[in-house]
Structure 1
Amino acid sequence: MNLSRITARGQTTIPKKIRDEAGLIEGDILAFEMAGEHLVVRKVTPGPDGYLRGLSETMTEWTSPEDEEAWRDL
């Protein structure tokens, strides 16, 4: 079992073993949903309509080196 703690800001780190097994890389988009009492996390693959690709491109305002540094220790 792999464990991760949630910070006061609601952030957590996906354990490296899980990231590797799921093929997750920096910039991937994850979808969260509840299935009964279970939290389900899925990697989102952009479809042919480009909606998610366009959405992910608008999220770049939070991916500057300064932002990465500011959030690193939270």
Structure 2
Amino acid sequence: MTAVAKITSKGQTTIPADIRAALQVGPGDKLAWEVLEAGVVQVRRVQPLDMEFLQAMEGTLDEWAGAADEEAYRDL
């Protein structure tokens, strides 16, 4: 399925109805955007469990945020 939408001067766009239906999203739902290779963007609906999990994990990952860790684990 392909749909086209314009971006406003404020960086906003309307998600076409067919796409909203396929993603099963509506007002208040959250979307996750991931940039892939060659300018391809993947969009998915964020499940409420995803947000709760990510917020719970966020505070536990500080110890892995150093430059040495980034260098050591970059290719994993």
TM range (shorter): 0.5 to 0.7
Following superposition, which runs of at least 4 residues in structure 1 exceed 6 angstroms of deviation?
Answer: none
Question: Number of paired residues?
Answer: 53
SS of residue matched to 1:47: helix
Cα separation, 2, equivalents of 1:5 and 1:24: 19
**52 and 28 in structure 1: CA distance in 2 versus 1, 3 angstrom threshold:** farther
AA at the equivalent of 1:35: L
**52 and 25 in structure 1: CA distance in 2 versus 1, 3 angstrom threshold:** farther
- Identify the residue that residue 47 of structure 1 maps to in structure 2: 49
Identity %: 38
Larger Rg: 2
| Runs (5+) with no aligned partner, structure 2 | 56-76
| Runs (5+) with no aligned partner, structure 1 | 54-74
Q: TM-score, normalised by structure 1?
A: 0.60
Any conservation in 2 of the 1:4–1:14 contact (CA below 8 Å)? yes
**13 and 48 in structure 1: CA distance in 2 versus 1, 3 angstrom threshold:** closer
